[in-house]
Structure 1
Amino acid sequence: MKLRVAGFLDNTMVNGKGLRSTLFLSGCNHNCEGCQNKEMQSFQYGDDVELEKINERIKRNIPLISGVTFSGGEPFEQAKELTELAKKIKEENLDIWCYTGYTIEEILKSNDEYKLNLLKQLDVLVDGKFNKHLVEGALKYTGSRNQRIINLKEVNIF
């Protein structure tokens, strides 16, 4: 099984709490004005990478990292494959953050089993489309004020 990958950071403190690895996925239909990863919106951008190769790279960063972040592009466009990777990451006792242009309400209402299964694997969801007019005053780890940081282990949605 493969993911279409736009990029990978072994160690960063920008995409979530603590030192983490960040996986950037290709493909996004939100087309947010002012998107900082515009080239990653293309579903053709990047490379097809085997899940096991991604997992091996993440494991090489342990014990330095405390978690992994999925970003994009739009991670939920590859939810089926990403769920399988998330399960492997959880076996390593790492937390998972995910940035998405969807709101949690949109994901839940979608009744898309793959998106719901991915949501179940996550610890923190940063939801909502980026809005370039709401950048000032945005929370740490968000791009604009409309985005929320949701601790999924506290909200008990499932």
Structure 2
Amino acid sequence: MNYHQYYPVDIVNGPGTRCTLFVAGCVHECPGCYNKSTWRLNSGVPFTPEMEERIIQDLNDVRVKRQGLSLSGGDPLHPQNVPDILRLARRVRSECPGKDIWVWTGYKLEELTAPQLEVVGLINVLVDGKFVQDLKDPALIWRGSSNQVIHYLR
């Protein structure tokens, strides 16, 4: 998996103070997407074990209390990203008590495959659905267009 940006302290992409990772790779290519640079799987830089460890350490850093981890992109549930996202989500669950995980995906919940659903089984909130330019609404919280659904899972 590759990623484009990591914010160790973020107050925009989900509730509270968070760590946010923007991964590479998206098959949806929604017209009007604000993050087109993340569409290609081979764009960005490799997600290394060192970067994974940094995220875990940042989530557990008591100097800056974080509510959790936000995963966006690109698409964290792109089939080629799922193994790394699954490993990271498992680590957050086991090593970062009390931290929540939010995931944004262009896939709809009912379209997800078994491996993608394995990730969903570990997260707290899934924001699903493609961005639709004609349904764009800047007043919406945590999503860009009104067709997107926020699923509170745990």
The normalised TM-score by structure 2 is 0.88
Aligned to 2:19: 21
RMSD value, Cα: 1.5
Alignment of 1:85-124 (within 5 A): 85-90=88-93, 91-93=95-97, 94-107=99-112, 112-124=113-125
Unaligned residue ranges in structure 2 (runs of 5+): none
- How far apart are the structure 1 equivalents of 2:49 and 2:124? 20
Alignment of 1:2-151 (within 5 A): 3-61=1-59, 62-63=61-62, 64-77=65-78, 78-90=81-93, 91-93=95-97, 94-107=99-112, 112-136=113-137, 138-151=139-152
Are residues 33 and 51 of structure 1, via their aligned partners in 2, closer, same or farther at CA, if it must alter by over 3 Å? same
| Structure whose residues are more often helix by fraction | 1
- How far apart are the structure 2 equivalents of 1:23 and 1:120? 19
CA positional deviation for 1:68? 0.3
**Which SS does the other structure have where 2:77 is aligned?**
helix
Q: How far does the alpha carbon of each residue in 1:25-45 deviate from its partner, in whole angstroms, 9 at most, with x for none? A: 101010100001001001111
- How far apart are the structure 1 equivalents of 2:66 and 2:105? 22
Confirm or deny: 8 A CA contact 1:26 1:40 kept in the other structure.
yes
Confirm or deny: 8 A CA contact 2:22 2:74 kept in the other structure.
yes
Q: How many residue pairs were aligned?
A: 147
- How far apart are the structure 1 equivalents of 2:69 and 2:26? 20
CA positional deviation for 1:139? 2.4
Confirm or deny: 8 A CA contact 2:102 2:123 kept in the other structure.
yes
Q: How far does the alpha carbon of each residue in 1:103-125 deviate from its partner, in whole angstroms, 9 at most, with x for none? A: 11111xxxx33212111111000
**Which SS does the other structure have where 1:114 is aligned?**
helix
The one-letter code matched in structure 2 to 1:87 is R
Q: How far does the alpha carbon of each residue in 1:84-139 deviate from its partner, in whole angstroms, 9 at most, with x for none? A: 011111121211000000111111xxxx3321211111100011101111112652
